[in-house]
Structure formats: structure tokens, C-alpha cells
Structure 1
Amino acid sequence: MADGGTQAGYLGVSRSLTGRPWRARPADPELVRRHQMGLGLSEPLARALASRGVAAEMGETYLNPTLRALFPDPSSFTDMDRAAAILVDAVVRDRRMVVFADYDVDGASSAAQLVRWMRAMGKDLPIYVPDRITEGYGPSPAAFRRLREEGAELVVTVDCGAAAYEAIAAAVEVGLEVVVIDHHLMRGDELPAAAALVNPNRPDDTSGQGMLAAAGVTFVLLAALNREARRQGLFDGRQEPDLREWLDLAAMGAICDVTELVGFNRALTTQGLKMMSNWRNPGLKALLEVAKSQGPATVFHAGFILGPRINAGGRIGRSDLGARLLSTDDPAEAQALAAELDELNANRKEVEREVLEAAVRVIERESNMADAPMILVAADGWHPGVIGIVAGRLRERYRKPVMVVGVDRAANIGKGSGRSQPGVDLGRAVQAAYEAGLLLAGGGHAMAAGLSVRPDVIPELRAFLCEHMAAEAEIAAEADALEIDALVTTAACDRGLYAGFQRMAPFGPGNPEPMFACADVRVERAMALKGGHVRVTLTDASGGKLKAVAWRCEDTEIGKRLLQEGGGLHIAGRLKPDDWQGRQSVELEIEDVADLRRQIS
């Protein structure tokens, strides 16, 4: 292995086929040496740790993260002790409670944890999940009034509620107590009138756990609940709930909500995947079976096999299906729910494909918006349950912020969902558009946002967002480089290399999966696959042959060049296991390609 660096870019790549320069992921040489000596690591692996900001004294904890070493004091979260006291008191007094969850994986896994803890305490906790189409995101005054009319005395919101000022005010008016468990960013110092609001991202919280998903915050809440129940003597003659049984749910939320896998969140995810690998949760086990998958749980299982199916209910089906699946102990019910979600997910894929193809046609054939600082693409009838996914796909393709708007002409409203590039605050731009009077509603955070707009205002909104985001987008485009961890030959890409770097798993934001580069390779046996994927075999001077695949790229510059075959390419990607028919090999998942003929000397 070599560093491959040059002044023009890593391997001389100043502009790849995605328009990016390549560079070596920066690492302090002294820290690299200390990781090598202290942990007995190879130089490339030690450099990878150093480049991710792992201090010398944290190397062992990083490679072997444990809850014992990293679990925070629940009391460090503002309002955590108050929330625990309210909920345990509700158990003692047998108050009627409801958990109000968001319709995604994080909301479902948070709700399921609370349901399971309450079940262990002999309490039934009903679940309420708003419908994405008819109710939108989060609590509403109407929903809270309905729950109160049905007899609820206490509502616990999970993965929502931190900004539900109007809804919580309405709850207070009708005598409904609300406890909020959330993680979303909050603007300003004003708080809703909840009885307790636990959110590591509230302005006055000092826990330092702002990277947690709601499922992680909920897991800490369970520890606080156990502590409070123990203090009140509720476990005299009753077995204390073993929270480790629900680590798999906490990990699902952390992975599927794309949170930073650092510190306690990394330990939670690592240990949660180990627990998930037992497949004791009937819902997760049923989903795994219906997806025809197997093996120990990985980030891939959670994020790409289980997560999309759980989300499918909230996107194009019944919004409570995911939470019901994760909270049931009935294998027959789990199998029925998993089958329904699997079918909904297949339908979601088809709807998503149609919207994505239509959006690409609009961008590339009917306008010049691909050259703008950000892309806002809109059309009639696009399903609001998939526009967020499509925005993410378009952001990957065009490497700039994207907002996708589906227009309902009958209601005279457009619902939009956006995804951004690092360095461009989409949420702030949407908030500015709302304050300028261009939106009916809007909000979000730096990397994702949603909005509602009148269709006739969309051209003006597009111009406003482009102007508002132009400076940030220009800086972000210049900083948008592909960072390489190691230069390898095709012969060196084997299971040993893969296994060595897997010691750094789980991967995600804050701990990016290692990126490998192969220099001056030749492409052979190129084949276009269903879905727009391209599969190839790579060879180089080492004599090795490496199977590789590039996802959803057939009609892109990368796909077109791979299908031409031939040599003169540098290729970067991530190593993945290839266990087909027991071969215990690896393949390269291609991230980027550089054509040597296009590089500027």
C-alpha cells in the first residue's frame, strides 16, 4: 500500500467522473505511530483511526466500545429525571397513557422500547402514529384532542414533539399531560409547554449526547425508568427489566436515522447489532425471513434490508405498521405484518423509480437547473411518501442540495422534501423562505428539510433558494473531495484486508467506511444489470482480478465509461464481503472513477 498523494490530488486526480478531486484522508503522523505501537495495528489501519480523530488514549475504546465505559448518566439530560418520575408515577397510579410516534424507523423503534418496558411492568401502552398524508409530521391539536376524548391522560411523544408548540398548548387546554422524547434540532430558546422535554439538542441541555437518535435517547430513558422504579421499590417481588434485550431497537434507530456513530452512540450501535444477531425480536426476525436474508446483523441489514421495509408503512401504507411489528411478541402477527410491509416496500420501490426517472428527465431534458446552486424539481402527482428518498438519490447524482416537490392540484398545494450537501444549510434556507412569506410551512435541519408551498409560487421559491444558498453551495462544491484511506492492488483486495478494516465497524456518519483506491486498472467483463447497476471485473499490474459493482449508474458518466471497458482508470470504492456459494471473497463497491485521459497535467 502507498499513500498515492500528489499536489494535483490523490493519484493525480483533480477531477473524477463525478467532478470531484481525490485526496488522502488527513492524519497526524505522530498519532498514526502511537496507534501502531499502542494497539499493534498495521500502518494503514492506524492511519485510518488517526484520520477519524481517534485520540491515542481512546484507541482501545474505539475498537471495543462498551456500554459500561461510555453510558452517560441519565441525569445529565435536562428533564430526564422529571420524565422518568412522571412515567413511573403513571405506572403506580395506573394512568391511561399513549405513546405518540413518528412514522419512520426511529419513531417505531423508540415506541417499541417504551411499549416493551411498560409491558414488563404489567402496563399496556397503546401506540398512535399520525398518517403521513392526512396528518403530516408530528403532533397536531386535533390528534391530541382526539386522544384526550378517548380517555388518555398522558401522552409520550417519541422522535417528535420538540417543536409542537401549538399542539402541546392544545393538549394543556384539554387537560392532557405531554412528555416529549426527541432529538431534533430546536431553534431559539422557547420551549413548548410539555410536562417534561428530553432532547439532547434542546438549548439548555449539557449532556453532550446530541448525536443520538430518538431511539438512543429512549434507551437512556429506560435506564432512568429502571432507576426510578428501583428507588420506589417497584422491583420488590418483580424482575427488573433487562434493558439489554432492547439494544437491537436502539441500534435500528441510530443506523436508520443516519446519526453520528461516535462515543456512546457507537457503543450503543455496536452492542445493539450483537443483540440483533440473536434475532430474538419477532418482528425483526420475520422481516429478515421475508427478505430472504440471513447471518449476523450488520449496518447493511439494519439500513438496507430491515429499515426500508419498516419505513414502507409510513411512506405508502398504514403508518403504525412498523411500530406494531417491532413491539409485538406474537410470531404469527409478526409474520403477517412483515409480509404486508415487504409488499408495501416493493410497491414503494416502483413508485420511487417512476418519480426518480421523471425528475431526472425534468432536470436534464427540460431545463438547465442542473447547473444551478441547488435543484428544486416539481411535478403534479408525485407521491409525498417517496419524494424524500428521491431527493437523496438526486443529491447523490448531482452532488448539490435538492428539493423535490409533489403537487396536489386539487388541494392547490405542493409538499416538498429536500436533502443537502455538507456545508450547505438547507434547513436555514427553508426557514428564510418561510419568513419571506413564500411557504405555507417549512422547517428542518442542515442536511434535510420539508416544506409546503402554493404551486404558483414554486418558480419564485426556486429563485429564492438558489440565491440564498449560492455562496454556501460554491464553497461546498470546492470542498467536495473524495477522501481515500489506502491505495491497494487488485491482488491485495482479499478477505484478510477486509477483515482487518472491519475492526473499525460499525460505519456511518462520524466514522466513514474505509475508501480504497486501485490505480491504473483495466475494466473487463462489463455488464449492465437490472436497476441500472453495472458489474465489472478489475485487473491491474499485480495480476489480481477483483469483482466490482457500481450501483444505479448505467446512465451516468461512471456507468458509460465502465461499459466501454478498457484500461487507464483509477477506481475508488468500499470493500464488501462476497460469500456467494461459500467463496469467502470480496468485491469492490465503486464510489468513483477517474479517467487518466481527462486529468490535467
Structure 2
Amino acid sequence: MVEKRWTYQKLPGTTEEQQAIDSLAQAINVNSFLATLLWQRNITEFDTAKSFFRPQLSQLHDPNLMKDMDRAVERLSRAIDKGEKILIYGDYDVDGTTSVALFYGYLKTFYPNLEFYIPDRYKEGYGVQRPGIGYAAEKGFSLIVTLDCGIKSVELIAEAKSLGIDFIICDHHRPGEVLPDAVAVLDPKREDCPYPFKELTGCGVGFKLLQAYNQYHQLPVEPLFEYLDLLAISIAADIVPITGENRILAHYGLKRLNAAPRTGLQALIKAASLKPPLDITNVVFGLSPRINAAGRIKHAYDAVNLLLSEDEHEAEEFARIINVHNTDRRQFDTRITQEALEMIERDQLMKSAKSTVLFKNDWNKGVVGIVASRCIEQYYRPTIILTESNEKAAGSARSVPGFDVYEAIEACSDLLEQFGGHMYAAGLTLKVENVPAFQQRFEEVVSRKIQVEHLKPLVEVDMKLPLSAISEKFHAIISQMGPFGPENMTPVFVAEQVHLYGTPRILKEKHLKMDIRQQGSAIFSCIGFGMAHFYERLLDGRPFDLCYQIEINEFQGKRSLQLQIKDIKF
């Protein structure tokens, strides 16, 4: 096993910082450990603490702060007033399908003349493509609203314009040097966009357009807020920071998902055997893979139809189909991951490289992103998995914390046909004959830019916390700091000089279960998933440092505090 490195969050280093923590602890009546956790999250005063613990939809930014929003609202309003045909065009992943379901679903409640379109992952590929524009031209659509795509489709949008088709782009990916010639380009990552929150999902940008449309026409907001369950799923699945506006939207979206989920999501929750209350983790590992599986294995229309379905029996049938897709996806994923790891194992140069770029022409395009993530679990470094699609090599990149894979791909752009994405995940297409040159160049770029510490798995620790500080009340307050996710992660603690109490056990040949105590503390039960490799070392009885999170374990109707092990150092 690769040894993990523990990095600690900043702790108060000056008297002023400690005084700020002490006065916050007093103002909101919490202990100094909890006040420090809040301080680490830039919450230093009563008012910011209040809005953190009690987020309000009224705190959302004015959508009109987004560059081009006035133009987007004007064009959408004109299309609706004149009865034009509008095509809602989305991507085939979770963010794209939830965007389409939200935008189309909401508009459909008062405007009938619209359709949605999602490109086929295998026949068309990502984003705005010719077949979609051809379909719009043939069927007489005069306005296309793109969601979670379009920011780099400069040539195709120019082509569409010559056919008399206007575009409103709602995207959140990094723009290229030239913006498409659309009526409006809504993307908070535009350099000239003053919108205060830059990390919205594609679904979030679509939501802001509808919010602005509602304001302009003085429509009630409640019917739009009914779609926040879809927005919460996009936020969870797209691994965006759960801070600022995303945290408010995720908070209310999860509330809706747990209290009154739409019919399709209700069916999917049941098919996934998830037990409410659902949190971000349940969405990421339970709902997202299923929604994604539709576009990976067959067509993403199945996912949108499920999300839009209002009939219980129909929704259950769509959920059943999607579950089958997900089972197929798992089988592909397992087989291809095994093949990919064997390719690395067989090649000494590849084993010692700073990056992984693998190509095999018969791999399933729908699972290459998942396979890239699986490879990182074994070989901790930026990874790209490519397969053949439409006579090109196409695939997905994933990165490790601290390394910008998008920038590294951009440095190889002369070898590529197309690319797009974020710091930690990207997609790319290139000529098959360019794959060897790309592998070499990407390795050179990564070797030059990556730092040694990026190649060691990272555990980010908030602080050292003695076991004696843990209580149900302490855990209850931490729970209120959610929803947790990037930039607001579930707190991670370290307890030093911990002793085993009794004998550890191995569950299902890979998980570790044990009881522990620290001087002056109660006995705590711990679970370490995939951590059976620590078993032998624990038996020698020496004290150790435990890296952990606090959670509630429910077993046979009883609830008790449990520590989930993140790592152990002897």
C-alpha cells in the first residue's frame, strides 16, 4: 500500500486569531474545537456563522449580475412571446441530464413549443455537434439553449447562425480564447463576467437563467424552487465546491430530495435501495452512477425521461432500465480496469512514469472516466484513458489533488482535435495516430510540472482531537455544518497515542473493525473500509495515531457513535 501523507489545516498562529476563535465560541455557544473548525472555513463572526448554519434562499446572488443575462432573458422571452420552437440541448452526464430535466421541465409547465436533445455519446460525442444542429434546422427550431456545453463550439455555432438558428449558451467550463458568436454566453468563468460565484454547475447556470426570466416577468419563485432536487444532484455529481451559492442550493435541494422528491427520483432511490435521509455521499455513490449509466451504456434520454416522469409505474420502469444499464456499466468498468492495470504492470517504463495514458480501441467509451479514477487508486498520478470512437481516439482524464490536468492537456493541444473540462477532470479527442506522441508529450508536461507530494495520496486533517472531546452533541453540531463536499469536507481528526481495546477483526476479508481508547477517554468502536492490511501491525499492541471521522452507526434499530478510520500511523 502507498503510504498516505497527512496535511493539517491552518491553526490559529497569533493572539488575534485565537481571540477571534474564543469570541466566536462564546457568541454561538460552542467549544473551541468547533469554533476552530468554523474559523478554518472563514467563519469568524456571529452573522457569518448564522448564515452558514441557517442558509437562506434569499442569500442567492442576483442572476442579472451574470454577463449577457439581459440578452439571454430578452431572447428567451421573445421566443416564448412569438411561439418559436425552442430546443433544449444538454450533455449526457449527470450535470447535463439534470440541467435538461430542470430547464425543459420548468418551461414545459407554461410553454408547449419545445423539445430537448442530447447527443449520443458514441455516434456524436460531447457537446454541440452537427447532427444536433441538423436536427434543429430540419425541424424548424430557431433557438437552441445549451446546458453544460457549448462554450468551445465556436465553428459549429457560427454554422448554425448561418442557418438562422440562435444560441443561448449556459456553461460552466473554462472558455477558450474565442467565445462563440451566440446571442448570449452565460458562463461565470468568462474573464469578463462579474458574477460573484464562479463555481456553479451547468445546471446551476441554467437555473440562474430561469431565475432571471422569472424576475423579469414577475413570476412566483416557488414553482422554480421545486426543481432544486435536480440541482443538488448536479452539484454532488460534478464535484464542485460546496461553498457559497452551491451550499445554499445543495442544502435546499437535499431537503426537497428527502421530503418530496419528484416521482422519477423516488423510483430511483427505491431502485438503488437507499434509505433517507440522503446526503451528498448517497447522491454521489447511489444516484449519480445510475443517472450516468444511461448515457454510458445506451442513451441519456432514458435518464431525462426518468427525471421528468410524473407517472409512478412509468418511473419505476425507467428506473428498472437504468438499474440494468448500471449493472452493465459495472461489468465493463471491472473488466476494463483490470485490463488497464495489467497494461501498466507489464511495462516497466509505464510503472515508473509520472502519468498514465492508456489506449485500447475496443474499450467502452462510456466508462473510461471511471476507469481513470480506478487506476488512480492503484497508481496515484494524473491519468487519461482513451478508446476508439468514430475513427478517433477519445477519452477522459482525471487528476490528483493539487495538479491541474486541464492545463497539462492544453499544453498538448496541437496534437488534439478537441478538449475541454476542469482542473481535475477533462475530456479529449485526437487522431489515433497521434496517441503515441500525445502519451510522450503529456508525460513530459506532467513530469515538469508535478510536485513530489502530489504523487502521494493525501489525507487532509482539520486538527488533532482527543477522543475525550467526542460526544453526541459534538457530532450533532458537526452534522449541521453540511452538506459536505469539496472545500467544505466532513471534518477529519487525528487522535495520538491510541491503544487497541480487545482484538481487532477482519470483515469480508478486507475491512477492519476494532475498539480503541485513549488515556482518559471512553471506548470507541471503529470501522476502516479496505483497511485489513493494518491488522498484523495492530496485533503487536503498540500505541498508534488514528486519523478518523465521526459518524453515527445504526444497527438493529440502535444508534451509536462510531469512528470511521481514514488512516493509521505507527
TM-score (norm 2): 0.91
Asked if residue 529 in structure 1 is aligned to residue 514 in structure 2, the reply is no
Which residue of the partner structure matches residue 475 of structure 2?
498
Alpha-carbon shift at residue 564 of structure 1 (Å): 6.0
Which residue of the partner structure matches residue 582 of structure 1?
557
| Structure 2 counterpart of 1:418, one-letter code | A
- Quick one: structure 1 residues 406 and 508, their matched pair in 2 at CA, closer, same or farther if it must change by over 3 Å? same
- SS of residue matched to 2:374: helix
Asked if residue 26 in structure 1 is aligned to residue 17 in structure 2, the reply is no
Residues in 1 aligned to 2:306 and 2:94: alpha-carbon distance in whole angstroms? 11
Asked if residue 333 in structure 1 is aligned to residue 322 in structure 2, the reply is no
Note the alpha carbon deviations across 1:147-185, whole angstroms, 9 max, x for none: 210222211111111111122112111111111111111
Which residue of the partner structure matches residue 54 of structure 2?
64
- Quick one: structure 1 residues 125 and 45, their matched pair in 2 at CA, closer, same or farther if it must change by over 3 Å? farther
Q: Greater shift after overlay, 324-333 or 500-509?
A: 324-333
Kept in 1, the 8 Å contact 2:8–2:463? The answer is no
| Structure 1 counterpart of 2:5, one-letter code | R
Alpha-carbon shift at residue 527 of structure 1 (Å): 2.4
| Structure 1 counterpart of 2:122, one-letter code | I
| Structure 2 counterpart of 1:204, one-letter code | D
Alpha-carbon shift at residue 475 of structure 1 (Å): 5.5
Residues in 2 aligned to 1:382 and 1:184: alpha-carbon distance in whole angstroms? 26
Asked if residue 425 in structure 1 is aligned to residue 414 in structure 2, the reply is no
| Structure 2 counterpart of 1:84, one-letter code | V
Kept in 2, the 8 Å contact 1:141–1:166? The answer is no
Which residue of the partner structure matches residue 599 of structure 1?
none
Which residue of the partner structure matches residue 316 of structure 1?
297
The number of residues matched between the two structures is: 559
1:198-597 paired onto structure 2 within 5 Å? 198-230=186-218, 242-407=223-388, 413-435=392-414, 438-474=415-451, 476-477=453-454, 481-488=458-465, 495-519=472-496, 520-522=498-500, 524-529=503-508, 533-541=510-518, 542=521, 544-550=523-529, 553=530, 558-562=531-535, 565-566=538-539, 567-568=541-542, 569-594=544-569, 596=570
- SS of residue matched to 1:470: helix
| Structure 2 counterpart of 1:460, one-letter code | A
Residues in 2 aligned to 1:240 and 1:419: alpha-carbon distance in whole angstroms? 38
Residues in 2 aligned to 1:563 and 1:381: alpha-carbon distance in whole angstroms? 42
Which residue of the partner structure matches residue 12 of structure 1?
none
Kept in 2, the 8 Å contact 1:117–1:241? The answer is no
Note the alpha carbon deviations across 1:61-115, whole angstroms, 9 max, x for none: 11211111x2111110111122122222222211111100111111111111212
Note the alpha carbon deviations across 1:99-148, whole angstroms, 9 max, x for none: 00111111111111212221221425321111111111001123212221
Kept in 1, the 8 Å contact 2:3–2:456? The answer is no
- SS of residue matched to 2:158: helix
Residues in 1 aligned to 2:331 and 2:548: alpha-carbon distance in whole angstroms? 27
1:19-168 paired onto structure 2 within 5 Å? 19-27=4-12, 28-56=17-45, 57-68=47-58, 70-168=59-157
Kept in 1, the 8 Å contact 2:6–2:459? The answer is yes
Q: Greater shift after overlay, 113-122 or 337-346?
A: 113-122
- SS of residue matched to 2:546: strand
Residues in 2 aligned to 1:480 and 1:31: alpha-carbon distance in whole angstroms? 33
| Structure 2 counterpart of 1:58, one-letter code | T
| Structure 2 counterpart of 1:327, one-letter code | L
Residues in 1 aligned to 2:547 and 2:267: alpha-carbon distance in whole angstroms? 36
Kept in 1, the 8 Å contact 2:91–2:127? The answer is yes
Percent of residue pairs identical:
28
- Quick one: structure 1 residues 94 and 456, their matched pair in 2 at CA, closer, same or farther if it must change by over 3 Å? closer
- Structure 2: stretches of 5+ with no match in the other structure: none
Kept in 1, the 8 Å contact 2:357–2:439? The answer is yes
Residues in 2 aligned to 1:186 and 1:109: alpha-carbon distance in whole angstroms? 22
Alpha-carbon shift at residue 589 of structure 1 (Å): 3.4
Question: Which one of 152, 157, 163 corresponds to residue 174 of structure 1?
Answer: 163
Kept in 2, the 8 Å contact 1:131–1:314? The answer is yes
- Quick one: structure 1 residues 299 and 537, their matched pair in 2 at CA, closer, same or farther if it must change by over 3 Å? same
Residues in 2 aligned to 1:360 and 1:509: alpha-carbon distance in whole angstroms? 28
Residues in 1 aligned to 2:163 and 2:511: alpha-carbon distance in whole angstroms? 58
